[in-house]
Structure 1
Amino acid sequence: MGATTSLAGSELAVTPGEMVSTTVRVNNSGQLVDQFAVDIVGDAAAWSRVEPPLLNLLPGTEGEVTLVFAPPRDGTVPAGSVPFGVRVQSREDPAGSMVVEGAVEVGPYTDLRVELVPRTLNCRSRGRCAVVLDNASNHPLAVEVAASDPEDALRLRLNYATLTVEPGRAVFLRLRLKPKDRFLRGPERRHPFRIAVSTDGTAPATADGTLVQHQLIPKWLLPALLVLLALAIAAVTLWFTVLKPTIQSAARDTAAEVVAAEQAKLADKADTAVRKAAAAEERAVAAEKKADGVVPSTPPPVTGPGGVDVSRGQAFDFRVVTDAAATGDPGQFPKFTGDGVPDGKTLVITDVVLQNPRGDSGTLRILRGEKVLLEFGLSNFRDVDYHYLEPLTFPPGEELRVAVNCQVPGAPEPATGKCRPSVSFSGRISG
């Protein structure tokens, strides 16, 4: 055997942050000069040391080394018994190395820290902060947390009043504060408050904070209201001085254009009426002369296309009602004809009345056979009439037809999805 060892004290006690030591005696029981390396193994090795770590011994002699244990004062070393081993290794006879065992009793200590984040709060009606409980002890702590204010001016509420904090851990609690009295205007008010955290066997840990209470009406509100009032006054002034006169002027110009158009239309109708009246007066004079035995000269006949006399014939009128389905194709024109037009007769049209009472949108055409004579936008009229000094003539074989391209039907109740404009024709039938 290379060595024999003995541990002076196998049961040790130490308080974290302090140190304790013991000795180990090493005897060279071999026949050669030998060197022995001494170290500590186990959980205590991180916070212990050997002095000196090497021993040079002659045969039959012994030496002594000191073991020092110094656990740190933090939560990484829990309270309780920590076993360790002292290993003695022989350089000349590795098989003769030995290990002796012992234990260090680490004493408990309490280190509880309390902090407010933030320490100073600003609010108008209520505030909130965090209470940080940091357990720097080496054992769990069962704590009680209480909040108070010396002025009794606050309502304080914690989300937890009792809890257990593990060693080396921090816990965050939520504290809500609400002033009992509020004020609209005035200087700020400062309300101190305190958090007390107590645990068994130690004095309570405390943290002090301050709640700064401000007036309910923000200081910027009155200037902002004044600015808004000034902007409102400027907007009203701009409306009455610039925008309203401009709109009224534009309305007057539009009304004047509409009146001028209506006057022109009335003038055309009046001119037509005058010509009709003159023609009627001439016919009356001719009839009077005929009654007196004087035969007036016969005026030349009025002829239309193909030499048809359009001044004679039987008065005739009819109405074409359309019923066109809405379509997205602008080239689709369903055709409609009127009833009661005799075959083999010449149709002479002097008056046309267009009606679109439902406000349909699209295009309406009047055709002679396949030829388009007139085209109207449905959205341009609701009820309009036309009188032709030069009549529209439809000889036999060239039928009068109405074609409609329906884009957007009007909105009657119930909705039909169709356009239904109509055209009324007045004139003569001859031949």
Structure 2
Amino acid sequence: MTPGATVTSTVQIRNSGTLVDQFTVDVVGDAVEWTTVEPSIINLMPGTEGQVTVTFAPPRDSTVLAGIVPFGIRVLSREEPAASMVEEGAIQVEPFTDLQIELIPKTSKGRRKAKHELIVDNAGNCPMAVELTAMDPDDELKLDIDHPILTIQPGTSAFLRLRARPHDTFLRGAEKRHPFQVTALTGEAAPVTANGTVVQQQILPKWLLPALLALLALAIIAVTLWFTVLKPTLQSAARDTAEQVVKAEQQKLTDKADKAEEKAAAAEQKAAAAEKKVADGVLAGAGGGPPAVTAPGGADVSKGQAFDFRVVTDPVATADGTDFATFTAPAPVPDGKTLVITDLVLQNPRGDSGTLRILRGDEVLLEFGLNNFRDVDYHYLEPLTFPPGKELRVAVNCQLPGAPEPPTGRCRPSVSFSGRLAG
């Protein structure tokens, strides 16, 4: 029989007992849910018969599977329960198909691809082998179903993924709609279809251009603020800071200069006091005249005739540091006179190297390194005295003459003396 239809059958019941009996009739087996008995209770006199009608009405859904369904008609006696019996039978349930497919969502959006879920339902009463195909009429999509061929059991569903990818993309422009269709084929049943649409969007997001314009506007505002407000403010602040720093440094320099002037004034005062002290020490008695200065021979050297001369030397260069050449004054000191030297000037214009000594007789009074000076003068409060018999001499050891003399040439330092003759 075909599900959804009804089939009836008659059952004959006989009371073969000696008592009036009541019989209850029902159905057992897999068909009990969709089978009815009318009447279900019958009373029979002894030796009489009665009939009940059995109606089979399987529903048209997947709960009743196609095939042979066995059943039993059970008759129960109230008076003689041991005499109850079951009459067996079977009914052939014919197969039917009910295939349904659904796309979720029906419309998708994407820039480069879109995704759908495909649900395939088998609402029939037998397994179905299903083949799924997807196509778009304009051939603008690449459509892929993850399991295009499958078998679905009765009362079950299959959940599949469908991917749609447009063949071409575009950066900007209006949305494009691409309709497509999914078809399910199964045996001799009619194909089942589901329609869907892919809405293709531009690659560049719609918010990108407004965002770029907003950023550009912000950049223009920022640049305007920089040149009209921030930069002048920073420059003014920088100038103020620089002026403050310069003023602070100038104040420091002024303070240092004031302190240096104070120190110089104090030094001048000390020098004046020292000179006064020396002057007071060398002045004689109440008369204020200079004290008598005497030479080792007893001569008074505080007075005398002014006298000056220059000793020019030209020793030959030597590697012996003890080899000194001696030079004397060009004009000899008169006999009986004492030479008093108050000033001397050392000159080494060529930058000779060596040693220069000033001697009183054989006694070394001063010794200088030639390479330590080019032109230097000395002034003495206590003069150098050369009494008769103690000649003033200049001794020079020349080690390396200066330019333009060759290394084997001569050194040419000189000493200028000034003072007076006493005695």
TM-score normalised to the size of structure 2?
0.62
**CA apart distance, 1:295:** 8.6
Corresponding residue number in structure 1 for 2:279: 292
- Quote how far apart the aligned CAs of 1:202 are: 2.1
Q: Residue 74 of structure 1 aligns to a residue in which SS? A: coil
Question: Match of 2:108, SS?
Answer: strand
Partners of 2:15 and 2:266 lie apart in 1 by: 159
- Cα distance 1:227–1:295, how it changes in 2: closer, same or farther (>3 A)? farther
Partner residue in 2 for 1:215? 202
Secondary structure of 1:237's counterpart equals helix
Question: How high is the sequence identity, in percent, across the aligned residues?
Answer: 61
Q: Match for 2:97: what amino acid?
A: T
Provide the C-alpha distance between the structure 1 equivalents of 2:43 and 2:59, rounded to a whole number of angstroms.
32
Superposition map of 1:210-249 within 5 A = 210-249=197-236
Distance, in Å, in 2 between the alignment partners of 1:253 and 1:166 is 90
Pairing 1:269–2:248 present? no
Partner of residue 38 from structure 1, selected from 17, 25, 31: 25
1:188 maps to amino acid: E
**Residue number in structure 2 paired with 1:299:** none
Alpha-carbon separation, structure 2, partners of 1:211 and 1:145: 19
> Residue 162 of structure 2 aligns with which residue?
175
Length, aligned pairs only: 283
Q: Which residue of 1 aligns with 2:173?
A: 186
Counterpart of 1:189, as a letter, is K
Q: Out of 110, 121, 140, which is 1:134 matched to? A: 121
| Mapped partners of 2:159, 2:81: distance in 1 | 55
- Structure 1, residues 201-240: CA drift from partner, whole Å, max 9, x if none? 3232222222222333344433332222212212222222
Shift of 1:270: 2.2
Structure-1 residue corresponding to 2:318: none
In the TM superposition, 1:278-289 aligns within 5 A as 278-289=265-276
Alpha-carbon deviation of 1:278? 1.0
Amino acid at match of 1:265: K
* 2:147 is equivalent to residue 160 of structure 1: yes
d(CA) in 1 for partners of 2:247 and 2:15?
Answer: 135
Cα deviation digits, residues 109-143 of structure 1 (max 9, x gap): 11111111122223322111111111111122121
Q: CA deviation at 1:175?
A: 0.9
Is residue 14 of structure 2 the alignment partner of residue 27 of structure 1?
Answer: yes
SS at the partner of 1:293? helix
Report the secondary structure of 1:87's partner residue: strand
Tell me the amino acid that sits aligned with residue 52 of structure 2. Answer: V
In 2: Cα distance, 1:107 partner to 1:243 partner: 90
Determine helix, strand or coil for the equivalent of 1:56.
strand
Q: Check conservation: 1:289, 1:295, Cα contact below 8 A.
A: no
CA distance in 2: counterparts of 1:197 and 1:215, whole angstroms: 32
Distance 1:221 1:19 in 2: 67
1:159–1:174 CA contact under 8 A, matched in 2: yes
Indicate the structure (1 or 2) with the bigger Cα radius of gyration.
Answer: 2
Cα deviation, residue 30, structure 1:
1.8
Q: CA RMSD in A?
A: 2.2
Counterpart in the other structure of 2:138: 151
CA deviation after TM superposition for structure 1 residue 166, in Å: 1.5
Q: Does 1:62 align with 2:22?
A: no
**What SS class does the counterpart of residue 73 from structure 1 fall into?**
coil
Distance across 1 between alignment mates of 2:241 and 2:38: 111
The structural deviation recorded for 1:294 is 5.7
- Supply the distance in 2 between the matched residues of 1:246 and 1:28 (Cα, whole angstroms): 122
Is the Cα–Cα contact under 8 Å of residues 114 and 197 in structure 1 kept in the other structure?
yes
**Contact 1:79–1:107 under 8 Å retained in 2:** yes
The amino acid across from 2:273 in the alignment is A
Which deviates more from structure 2 when the two are superposed, residues 177-186 or residues 19-28?
177-186
Gap regions ≥5 residues in structure 1: 1-13, 297-431
Per-residue deviation at 1:170? Answer: 1.1
1:81 and 1:209 map into 2 onto residues whose CA distance is 41
* Residue identity matched to 2:62: G
Instruction: Show the counterpart of 2:324.
Output: none
Residues 1:16 and 2:3 are matched in the alignment: yes
Cα separation, 2, equivalents of 1:263 and 1:93: 137
SS of the counterpart of 1:211? strand
Q: What 5-or-longer segments of structure 2 have no aligned partner?
A: 284-423
Letter in 1 for 2:216: L
Who is 1:416 aligned against?
none
Q: Give CA-to-partner distance per residue, 1:57-101, whole Å, 9 cap, x none.
A: 111111111111111111111222222121111222223222121
TM (norm. structure 1) is 0.61
- The Cα shift of 1:177 comes to 0.8
Alpha-carbon distance in structure 2 between the residues aligned to 1:89 and 1:58: 15
In 2, the alpha carbon distance for the partners of 1:294 and 1:285 equals 14
